[in-house]
Structure 1
Amino acid sequence: MPKSHPPITTIAIALACIGLAVASCKGNHRPEPPASSYSALLDSVDFGDAQLIRQPELLLKPSLSFFSFLENTHQEQPEAIAAFMRKVLDADTAILKYMVDDVIEKYLFEAGSPIRNDHIYRRMIDYVIEDPRIGQLTKNRFSAHAALLDQNMPGSGANNFYFVDKEGVRRQLRDFSAVPVLLYFHNPDCEACKVTTRQLMNSSGLKTAVDNQQIQVIAVYPDPDLKPWRTATFPDKWLNVYAEKPDELNVLYDLRAIPCMYLLDRQNRVRSKDGTIEEVLTTIEKM
């Protein structure tokens, strides 16, 4: 079965508030960037007001606007995140728990969120796990998220793993170092995967690169039930494989949402991590 995204009941509220619609597994729509500075956004909410927990939308909506601001700024991002987290971590206990569990984690990390942002979430994790008011179970969970997000960062060597091809041959990623590699994690039954597969197959630039042995596409099926994998069809020059140890793969690679692509150079260093198909194809053309 394809990977399913975790249910996010509060997303409906947020989407109604900010006029978004979820168009795909990855969520392509984003809130409009707010015009005000982050200071004005933060000052608009009194996180110390314990009564606000009775109207969580009054905490959620400005938080989503703030996340949108963060996504659209780089110079101010570190200090803005620090200011936001100071307010959150100094908040009333019930508000603190709501913000950490039901806003920060749910909207920035969970696979089904239309405003998921691993970079911003990773910065916030450090504040959460260092705060004495946060319970140990929550700290452990956020630490596990940090470990997952820190895997296969651009510029680092890609984690090696074993897979099996259609002929039953066992291989490993590090065997492929003659040319760059596009790791394409997919499930044939996933609707978003079907769209991405068609886009990859219809890319003349990718086809030319594959035909000229300038890149190797490895389509990796990451789930234990092999029935869908056996039905998958790909171009002859792609390598169609399944992960030998799916549970281990999900520790080595962040596969919260599929389709998911990692682009590696000739030394198996990560050039692009979980990029959009447009980003991946553009990078391939420049390699």
Structure 2
Amino acid sequence: MRLLRIYDAITLLVALLLLGACTSSKQEHKDEARGIELPEPPAVIKEPIDRMDYILLHLFDGLTEIDTVLLGSSDDREQFFANYFSIGLNAREPALRESIRQFYQLATPAMDSIGMSLVGKYYGEPNSPFYDERCYILMMEEAKAAGLLDEAEQIRLADRKALFNRNRVGEKAEDFDFVLVNGRTTSLYNNVSGLTLLLFYDPDCETCHNVLSALSQDQRIRGMVSNGLKVLCIYAFGDEEAWRRHLDELPPFATVGMDKKGVIVSESLYDLKALPTIYLLDENSRVLMKDIILDESTLDEIEENICF
């Protein structure tokens, strides 16, 4: 099952809790026998993102080596990295990059291996609540710079980075052909004549089903559709029988299509590791928003792009 990425609210809450705890006694964070203490940002640093950056940049101060003894049991290590990754999701890129660079420099070979494994588990797996392709690529780029990736791993990273860099905000989305319910073949560019919500889904994905159901019933979306928003739902995985069997579950106001030849997947036109994957395109098929999560904040942004 391909799951919707929902980490933002979860990790922000975790990070804020961690940051709030930094103002209490340092002893609460410290294990006398082992562990890495979360640094306490100075009181003059008020903004949450600035406090996160400070923690990342000073997390390894004073350490000469990070080994398995320092981070204790496997459960201790897992907890440390969960906290670390939750803060990293909501920090600035330079701070996260410098922090992981310091980790790779200080870590023993065993800890390097454990760290990269957990980077993949938390940031690299679509079913992880912390899944974030940007953070995964950033951390693996630093692992490559530290000489920790073999040739095959470097090739996989290059392929993954190339896919991530497609359909960036501000660029024109990749065009593709698809078949409509009536059997007629058309293309993305021929169907984008105004602000368009492009949604890739799988009819057998429960999360996709829930999102599409909510989309159908959402009065704000219906209002935006009435004011010109177009919704295009695309199935890209080739099982026409499954696609047609679930057509009645799609929003009645949506244009529905299927990539019958499987080109979207075979040519890696879009990154569909986690579904549903949603983009907002302008009238010229230029990407305005990418990897959308349909919450109230996102709906506000979509409404701002609609010309009433």
Same-fold call, TM > 0.5?
yes
SS at match of 2:209: helix
* Post-superposition CA distance 1:73-117 (Å, at most 9, x none): 33xx413421322322552223212211x2112211210111112
* Post-superposition CA distance 1:105-141 (Å, at most 9, x none): 2211210111112232232232233332321111122
Structure 1 residues 248, 187: CA separation in 2 closer, same or farther (over 3 Å shift)? Answer: closer
- AA at the equivalent of 2:201: H
SS at match of 2:14: coil
Instruction: Give the structure-1-normalised TM-score.
Output: 0.81
Partner of 1:248: 264
Partner of 1:67: 85
1:285 aligned onto 2:300: no
SS at match of 2:60: helix
* Distance (whole Å) between structure 1 residues aligned to residue 209 and residue 137 of structure 2: 30
Question: Which residue, 178, 181, 194 being the options, matches 2:209?
Answer: 194
- The answer to whether the 8 A contact 2:6-2:293 is kept is no
1:58 aligned onto 2:72: no
Structure 1 residues 229, 137: CA separation in 2 closer, same or farther (over 3 Å shift)? Answer: same
* Distance (whole Å) between structure 1 residues aligned to residue 89 and residue 60 of structure 2: 16
Partner of 1:133: 148
Q: Which moved more, 1:189-198 or 1:87-96?
A: 87-96
SS at match of 2:199: strand
- AA at the equivalent of 2:101: M
* Distance (whole Å) between structure 1 residues aligned to residue 70 and residue 261 of structure 2: 46
1:228 aligned onto 2:228: no
- AA at the equivalent of 2:239: D
Structure 1 residues 275, 44: CA separation in 2 closer, same or farther (over 3 Å shift)? Answer: farther
Question: Which residue, 171, 177, 188 being the options, matches 2:186?
Answer: 171
* Distance (whole Å) between structure 2 residues aligned to residue 283 and residue 230 of structure 1: 32
Partner of 2:30: none
Gaps of 5+ in 2: 20-38, 40-54
Instruction: Give the structure-2-normalised TM-score.
Output: 0.76
Gaps of 5+ in 1: 6-23
- The answer to whether the 8 A contact 2:216-2:252 is kept is no
Partner of 1:18: none
- AA at the equivalent of 2:291: D
- AA at the equivalent of 1:94: A
* Distance (whole Å) between structure 2 residues aligned to residue 126 and residue 65 of structure 1: 21
Question: Which residue, 91, 94, 104 being the options, matches 1:88?
Answer: 104
> Once superposed, what is the RMSD of the aligned Cα atoms?
2.5
Give the superposition deviation at 1:266. 0.8
Question: Which residue, 111, 114, 117 being the options, matches 2:129?
Answer: 114
Structure 1 residues 260, 51: CA separation in 2 closer, same or farther (over 3 Å shift)? Answer: same
User: Which one has a bigger Cα radius of gyration?
Assistant: 2
The runs of at least 4 aligned residues of structure 1 exceeding 4 Å deviation read 43-47, 50-54
- Percent identity, aligned pairs only, is 24
Partner of 2:284: 267
